[in-house]
Structure 1
Amino acid sequence: MTPILLDQSAALCDRLAATLEAIVISDRWVAHHRGCDRPSRWQQGLMQTAQACATGEPLTAQVWQPHFHRLGEPAAVLINALPYLWLKADAHSHHRATVEGWLTDLQLPPAEAKACKDLFLLLCGEMRHATPGRHRSPVAPAFNWRFSGEPEPELGQALALVAQSQGQMAVALKVAAQRGWGSATIALVGLLVGLTGGRASLGAKLRQRWLIDYSDPNAGTPDADPWHLLDAHHLEAIATELHHRWAGLGAYSTLPEPAFPLGIRV
């Protein structure tokens, strides 16, 4: 690779790590503010799809259709589909037909399928603009990509909030909570902040409190944190493994043991 391509690849890996961190931070934040009143199925599902994609398992409809159908809402489906969509994304959307075929095979409801197509296009757009040092507005991605028509409403609302908050994670989370959005939709907001702004957009205080120094007050109870076996090191390793496979280099073997403590249960 040329130096600029190496820099861009490193930037993409950081952006993916920031996206995963933002999902965890957002979910822990909302659990704290709502007394853990949030379903845990989609959290476990993300680790399942991430593990499968990182180890090279294709998310075939025969195996994964029940998994995605159980999630039941566009935001949860988007978060669970993120690892697969990332592996298929590139700056020119070359694998768009493959993604659309996969969604057809999954037989998702129209809103969920369209949301996944829109997120895929957003990922491709980010890969066109991830070169370090390139000056751009942190909120530009919210409206500049060409979706298939208007973005799916839930994704569109999340994108609009990221734009309105100028990509500031703390502001976006507070507004989303005030609007009464569900835990998966709030985590989707975090996903978009991390994706479009990288780690710098998450805020040092949020990362320190909800990721680096997080201690689960409900450990050992039914309300235990669904991410309790993950830390920043685990998320970094997952992102590195996914990014290495995206780059066509096969397994990178950085995953700690147990890398994916939730396991695959489909």
Structure 2
Amino acid sequence: MTVGEAECRYGPFGRATVKPYSRTQRAIDGGSLLKFYVGVDPEGRRQREAETVWRAAHWGLSVPEVLATGRCGAGSWSVFRMLLGVPCGVSTSRAIEEYVGHVLDLAHSIHRSSPSVTPGPGWSGERGRPTPQHQFLLDQFSPRCRLRPWWAALAEALQPLESHPVVHLHGDLKPEHLLVDDHQLGVVDWEASSCGPAVVDYTDVVFHLVRDLLYTGVKPGSVPIDLITQLPFSGPVLAWRLLLWLDRRRPQDIDLIVARDIQRLATEEHAATVYASLARAVSDLRAAGVPR
């Protein structure tokens, strides 16, 4: 099926919503969503999401069915059946507590490990030579990062991840990707799915929550750190996540962070302290003009 045929069958689709790595259009009848993948590895992300959604559905998770998918002159695309539900909120302490609870429930369902699971993108496990867990994370940076003064220290700090079990990861956990419909939890946007240490998913939750609260005007000292300390944490992975965000923003943004800031995050052993450091760092970066 071509994208034109998909539009005739599942559309018409409305106005596009443009994000850094996707362009989406909802069907006028609300039944489906057309998604174009743009930016980093669009075809790989298309294939990865379609395959992971199929596997997640097989496990009994509520995920958007892939109605059609392909690649054409317009780009890599998929049409998904819309899921019912309301995105998790984080505007109150109660909402954040509920969101964290949903994350823990989801993690119990997807953080599965088996001898065939090896670090890397997607859930297929069909890879060549196994990649160490820390190297899989480092490989997600652009080549320019290898020249930065913090690179060697970060690579060393991530080494202990080799002792963590390799599990299935969502790869992009944030409130808008978890949809609540009565007592059922729907999960969307699986294009960043991968296999690696579970703490990567938990770190995504913390990073997105802290960053997004700060970008809505919450002061660093008002971020409800106590509500997220129950999640497993890793200082080195948190430093990696902050740097990955900067690497995928404006070319100059990666130079706004200095080695001592990364070392502070990577070596701190207490969750509350490292989350407070993250809040201050992100607040400074926002003030410097880094886009969300």
Q: TM-score when scaled to structure 2?
A: 0.28
Larger proportion of helix: 1
Larger radius of gyration: 2
Larger proportion of strand: 2
RCO greater where, 1 or 2, for CA within 8 Å and sep 6 or more?
A: 1
